[in-house]
Structure 1
Amino acid sequence: MSRILLFNKPYGVICQFSRDGLHPTLADYITAPGFYPAGRLDTGSEGLLLLTDDGKLQHRITDPSHKLPKTYWVQVEGIPDEAALERLRGGVQLKDGLTLPAQASLMEEPADLWSRDPPVRFRKDIPTCWLQLTIREGKNRQIRRMTAAVGFPTLRLIRHGIGEWSLDGIAPGKWSGTDI
């Protein structure tokens, strides 16, 4: 039987157990032995990180050929119009190639959203809004590069779901475990 942990990674935490002396690591939050991250999440991003004690499951989660959908809540600078959303839905040309089409929609700020430390910069003359983006690939910093390419830089990035798993009910810095 495989075990999986769903961890709500706070902003500023690096996705490794070994300490680098600069940032908090997974070791500061997860004491269960034998678990390893199935994928990564940038230090400046928050949200769902899966960890497992099963190498085959870890591979299945991270292998691009399985194309597990990853859903993000993205706060962007400005308010994207339908044309910008259509560009995200059709695939965005980045320096390393065209992204696969994404599911993209405007959303209300998530209910019960936790505060971020440090807070997102605020500019009184530039509005922000939230998008829900679902992708099926994982290029380096892909969401940030996609929103910037369509003219709406990412201010805050929260991964809400991977495949069947989500952050629902898991506070920042906390984890939930299950057998699968």
Structure 2
Amino acid sequence: MRYCIRCARDIGEGHEYCPHCGTPQKSPLPRPVPAKKKAIWFKIAIIVGIVLVLIIAVCVSMAVTVYEDSKPNPDAIIHNANGSITTTAKTLLKEFNDNEIRAGEMFNEKRVSFSGCVESVNDMLLFSTVHINNCGILGSKTIKAIFPTSAKKDLATLVKGNKATITCTIVDGGNIMGVLAKECLVNH
């Protein structure tokens, strides 16, 4: 089928001039696609594109969720087989801040290993103390860890602002300044 190069009407095969408008035909033109059909295909393409973007976004979101769920929670409270507990200073302080009674039942008189940042190291006459915070704002609540004087060699390795892991027996979380711990040891 051939169409007029000027008026785009069907002129059939073998005509050198358009029977409708009389224009000489040098090369045949394909029949133009009506604007309505172009608009429909354009809308379909946009809808398909949006659906694909949404599917990709959902897949990425699910992958990120699975990845995040598979990572170990550094702030978890781990109850060890020997009856001790492992956690972070951040979690310990938060537990006592959220509910002092519940946290006391969970932690008081138990051996707890926790990691946090050294806020201060102090030497007293009969004992030494180290204040451990949640590695956040200085001056916030801390865990006051009491060490025997025999632990001075280990305490000399601690530096203000650095992270440390300490094992202590938790005495009281109701302290206005934070949590009190005794019989502490520096974990290496």
Q: Which of the pair has more CA radius of gyration?
A: 2
Comparing both chains, which one has the higher relative contact order based on Cα–Cα distances under 8 Å and sequence gaps of 6 or more? Answer: 1
For the criterion TM > 0.5, the same-fold answer is: no
Higher helix proportion, which one? 2
Q: Normalising to structure 1: TM-score of the pair?
A: 0.23
